[in-house]
Amino acid sequence: MREVRVRFAPSPTGALHIGGVRTALYNYLLARKYNGTMILRIEDTDQTRYVPGAEAYIVESLAWAGIKIDEGVGVGGPYAPYRQSERKALYKTYAQKLVDEDHAYYAFDTEQDLEEMRKRTPNAQYDGVTRMQMKNSLTLSGKEVAQKLSVGEKYVIRLKVPGKEEIHLTDLIRGSVTVQSSQVDDKVLMKSDGMPTYHLANVVDDYLMKISHVIRGEEWLPSAPLHVLLYRYLGWEKEMPQFAHLPLLLKPDGNGKLSKRDADKMGFPIFPLNWQDPESGHVAIGYREAGYLPEALINFLAFLGWNPGTEQELFSMEQLIEAFTLERIGKAGARFDIQKAQWFNQHYLRSKSDDVLIGYLLDSLKKENIDCSQEKAKKIVAVMKERVTFPKDFWEQGKFFFTAPVSFDEQVVSKKWNDDTVKVLTAFSNEIKSGSNLIAETAKDTLEMVTSKLGIKTGHILQALRMSITGGASGPDLMITMEILGNAEVFKRIHFAIKTLKVKVT
RNA sequence: GGUCUGUUCGUCUAACGGUUAGGACACCAGAUUUUCAUUCUGGUAAUAGGGGUUCGAUUCCCCUACGGACUACCA
């Protein structure tokens, strides 16, 4: 097998889509598995769609996800530059070579010319039959062409696709694909602004950078035959990389590929990191900011379209590298199911050390300007650990550890708040008020002592007690919660509840 | 419309001619938990349809249906 050199080649037109992260991941896994090289190339040949900040965003996203770049933008390498806009002159020489060898030609058609051509021919495309009706170096005399060129008239260079030929290519995922050349149009190779199109730049760079495998989204499959032609005419067929066209990520419901709109609608991120649209200023939430751990996202993404063939589902990056093969990538598009991502997240979150978890809580508290001792944080994390999916849950589901409730769960109030509960809670609070430092066991003993004295079942008032302390109907172990809060606070909260709720009851 | 491509539980998928069609997420039920969650146990649930080939098709071939991608001087 030849040296594995793969590239991830996004264009900096905005935030990196989550599907792009998966494409990058598969490239990376292959590179690592075979001790190859992972290259990041920026395909910024469309100056009209260039978005400042997008490149930096891509670099940061990959770094966060744990996808390391060996060569390319940001790190450099032997085939620099890795930004296509900086390689502009290169493409021109290859386009010229194609023209010289009669595999490409100049075309001077205006937008209007093209429009008219499309209108008059059904299923129109610029190809072997229509090109003879157009303004190009195939229909114009050499003199005319030279004249136009010297005057500086705008032109593009188009590939001269043969009329009747079968183009074969072998895709590592889809097997052999055959296309009739008559179905391929004379694609523009060089645009009138002097920039190459994707097709030319991609092929030239993949060749020059000695790319061994082109792993990209399925949307490129239809143009792959064109690329094969380009390799052939440039004389690089022997060095042509192997292709692997990845199945697409589909909407969670309905049909079509996953889009930002679906994500917004269903309430999950579609970008790895927060992305602020430079025009609208609107910020789209990222996986990182939503609380997804990179290892969870990676594990989740890896399984969208690939599986190891065993029943193991939990994989670290190292394990993925070990297990990954292109052969085990599926053919069908994969529906995006955020619930599975959450499950992975919960798993990876729990496997973090207590210190890390405590750090999450402390981070949240810092943002809220709340002080908290290490010991208290440790206790809270211990009791909350089994209940969280995201780092922020420690704070969001445990706010009551820091602020007393101001309102109470209405269901519990209507169902469980009655004279008995008030009786028990009053007695209980008085009991602990004077007692020594509250710990979970004594809280429990005290509560049972009070209820048995009053002849009321503990179970009946427990939810009311929780509600008076936390405001909610469910939460972590109540006795431990009270221990963390301490006598005085518990007493205060119970009395506040009795005071405010009495009005509602009677 | 044309070209390419795909189709196994609701979802991600396993089974590369012979299995009671397996696993995971989700869902449901039971147990544990004085709540909720966790955890444990169990359960519901799929080969798109029709033809072939074969002793035997989820698996190979054809047709149909339904998806998807592409069809720009965008990538």
Q: Closest nucleotide (CA of A252 to C1')? A: B11
Task: Tell me the β-bridge partners of A334.
Answer: A249
**Could you check: is the Cβ of residue A156 within 7 Å of any atom of nucleic acid strand B?**
yes
User: What pLDDT score was predicted for residue A412?
Assistant: 84
Residue nearest to nucleotide B69 (CA to C1'): A219
Q: Confirm whether any atom of chain B, the nucleic acid strand, is less than 7 Å from CB of A212.
A: no
Q: Is the CB of A4 under 7 A from strand B?
A: no
Structure tokens at A120: 């008059």
Domain with CATH 3.90.800.10 in chain A: 88-246
Query: Out of A68, A257, A260, A492, which one is annotated catalytic?
Result: A260
Phi, psi (5° rounding) for residue A31? Answer: -60, -50
Given a contact cutoff of 8 angstroms between Cβ atoms, the answer to whether A241 and A213 are in contact is yes
Looking across all nucleic acid strands, the nucleotide with the smallest C1' to CA distance from residue A346 is B38
Q: Give the tokens for residue A182.
A: 């008559």
Q: Is A366 a catalytic residue?
A: no
Q: Are A108 and A135 in contact (CB under 8 A)?
A: yes
Within 7 Å of a protein beta carbon, the nucleotides of strand B are 1-8, 10-15, 22-26, 34-38, 67-75
CATH 1.10.8 location in chain A = 352-398
**Chain-centre distance for alpha carbon A353:** 25
The CATH number, out of the four listed (3.30.420.130, 3.90.800.10, 2.30.30.140, 2.40.50.140), of the domain defined by the range A88-246: 3.90.800.10
Residue whose token pair is 């004379």: A186
CB of residue A220 closer than 7 A to nucleic acid strand B? Answer: yes
Q: What is the pLDDT of residue A503?
A: 60
- A 418-457 residues, CB < 7 A, strand B: 444, 447
Distance A343 CA to B26 C1' (A): 10
- Give residue A414's pLDDT: 84
Whether the beta carbon of A470 falls within 7 A of nucleic chain B: the reply is no
Sheet holding A5-8, edge to edge: A71-72, A37-40, A5-8, A213-217, A242-246, A166-171, A175-180
| Domain span(s) for CATH 1.10.10.350 in chain A | 404-504
**Topology annotation, domain A260-350:** Glutamyl-tRNA Synthetase; domain 2 (1.10.1160)
Residue A162, C-beta contacts closer than 8 angstroms, at least 6 positions apart: A128, A181
- Looking at residue A504, what is its pLDDT? 53
From first to last of its 506 residues, chain A has per-residue pLDDT tens of 689 999 999 999 999 999 999 999 999 999 999 999 999 999 999 999 999 999 999 999 999 999 999 999 999 999 999 999 999 999 999 999 999 999 999 999 999 999 999 988 888 899 999 999 999 999 999 999 999 999 999 999 999 999 889 999 999 999 999 999 999 999 999 999 999 999 999 999 999 999 999 999 999 999 999 999 999 999 999 999 999 999 999 998 867 889 888 888 888 999 999 999 998 999 999 999 999 999 999 999 999 999 999 999 999 999 999 999 999 999 999 999 999 999 999 999 999 999 999 999 999 999 999 999 999 999 999 999 999 999 999 999 999 999 999 889 888 888 888 888 898 999 999 888 776 677 888 888 889 888 888 888 888 889 999 999 999 988 999 999 999 999 889 999 999 999 888 765 44
Length of chain A: 506
How distant is C1' of B16 from CA of A175, in Å? Answer: 14
Residue A316 has, within 13 A of its CA and on its CB side, a CA count of 3
What's this model's pTM, rounded to 2 decimal places? Answer: 0.95
CATH class label, A352-398:
mainly alpha
Å between A337 CA and B19 C1'? 29
Fold classification of A404-504 is: Arc Repressor Mutant, subunit A (1.10.10)
A40 touches strand B (CB under 7 A): no
Distance CA A285, CA A306 (A): 26
3-state secondary structure of A70: coil
Tokens 């303004």 sit on residue: A135
Q: Which residue is nearest to nucleotide B38 (CA to C1')?
A: A386
User: Which residue intervals of chain A bear CATH 1.10.1160.10?
Assistant: 260-350
pLDDT of residue A377: 95
Strands (E), A372-506: none
> Cβ distance A497 to A425 under 8 Å?
yes
Strand B contact with A385 (CB < 7 A): no
CA–C1' A138–B18 (A) = 62
Determine the pLDDT at residue A419.
Answer: 86
Q: Is the CB of A218 under 7 A from strand B?
A: yes
Strand B contact with A309 (CB < 7 A): yes
